[in-house]
């Protein structure tokens, strides 16, 4: 592990190769899993605030699920998550374009309707953040069979997870933090 400030970065985030391959996976991470996308507490108010501008981009099933379950909910682990369509399918904020699952929140962002790109857990995937009792956070690589194509493409292009996720890592922790991570990785490679 590498520690940058109070953030612990697992070796897999540095060593594993990963580049999303939407042509192959079709956005399966938006439609698979046991619960919706994890949400930070500060994102709950943001979802409340932006929902009216996001709603036009959503599917009818997604809107109905959000009306039924709320803009977010608490899962069986006690974590805040996005609701699922009918409580058990894709994320309620998922939209489909040519058979590829995409984020309705991100579509509103790209259109310039909102200033929030999407939940940070989605933007950072396949990194998952574990909050420690000490206040530190651990960044771990989440291996999922749905992402085999991304691992294959990452190996082919020789792109480590942390480099693939440079922009979301900067969004979460800042440019200075990311520069420190890059320096630590270079030091390890020597």
Predicted confidence at residue 108, as pLDDT, reads: 97
Q: Are residues 138 and 70 in the same domain?
A: no
Choosing from 100, 117, 134, the residue where a domain stops is 117
> Which pLDDT does position 86 carry in this prediction?
81
Q: Is 33 in the same domain as 113?
A: yes
Q: How far is C-alpha 30 from the geometric centre of its chain's CA atoms?
A: 10
**Residue indicated by tokens 């803009």:** 71
**Residue at a domain's end among 117, 147, 165:** 117
- Final residue belonging to a domain, choices 77, 100, 117: 117
90 and 149 together in one domain: no
Q: How many structural domains does the chain have?
A: 2
Q: Within this chain, do residues 149 and 70 fall inside the same structural domain, yes or no?
A: no
What integer pLDDT is reported at residue 154 of this predicted model?
93
Same domain flag for 55 and 110: yes
Q: Residue 82: give the domain boundaries.
A: 25-117
pLDDT, averaged per 10 consecutive residues of the chain (190 residues), comes to 93 94 83 84 96 97 94 91 86 92 95 96 93 91 87 94 97 96 90
CA atoms within 13 A on the CB side of 76: 3
- Reduced to 3 states (helix: H, G, I; strand: E, B; else coil), residue 175 is helix
Give residue 146's pLDDT: 80
As a whole number of angstroms, the distance between CA 188 and CA 186 comes to 5
pLDDT of residue 31: 83
Q: What CA dihedral angle connects 183, 130, 144 and 170, to 10 degrees?
A: -40
Same domain? For 70 and 14 the reply is: no
Same domain, 30 and 12: no
Instruction: Tell me what pLDDT residue 147 has.
Output: 86
Let me know whether 113 and 143 are in one domain: no
Q: What is the pTM of this model?
A: 0.89
CA 41, 13, 72: angle at the middle one, nearest 5? 20
The pLDDT, as a whole number, for residue 173 is 96
One domain for residues 104 and 140: no
Find residue 95's DSSP bridge partners: 102
Q: Is residue 14 domain-shared with residue 29, that is, in the same domain?
A: no
| Whether residue 132 sits in one domain with residue 167 | yes
Q: How far is CA 140 from CA 12, 79, 96, 137, 156, in A?
A: 7, 17, 29, 10, 22
């Amino acid at each position: 592990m590498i520690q940058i400030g109070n953030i612990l970065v697992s070796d897999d985030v540095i060593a594993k190769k990963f580049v999303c391959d939407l042509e192959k996976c079709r956005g399966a991470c938006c439609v698979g899993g046991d619960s919706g996308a994890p949400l930070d507490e500060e994102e709950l108010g943001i979802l409340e605030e932006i929902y009216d501008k996001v709603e036009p981009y959503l599917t009818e099933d997604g809107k109905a699920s959000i009306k039924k379950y709320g803009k977010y909910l608490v899962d069986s682990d006690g974590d805040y998550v996005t609701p699922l369509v009918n409580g058990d399918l894709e994320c309620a904020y998922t939209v489909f374009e040519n058979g590829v699952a995409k984020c309705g929140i991100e579509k509103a962002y790209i259109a310039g309707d909102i200033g929030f790109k999407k939940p940070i857990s989605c933007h950072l995937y396949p990194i998952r953040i574990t909050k420690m009792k000490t206040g530190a956070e651990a960044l771990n690589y989440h291996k999922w069979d749905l992402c085999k194509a991304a691992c294959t493409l990452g190996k082919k292009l020789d792109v480590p997870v942390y480099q693939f996720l440079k922009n979301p890592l900067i969004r979460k922790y800042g440019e200075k933090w990311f520069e420190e991570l890059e320096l630590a990785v270079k030091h390890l490679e020597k």
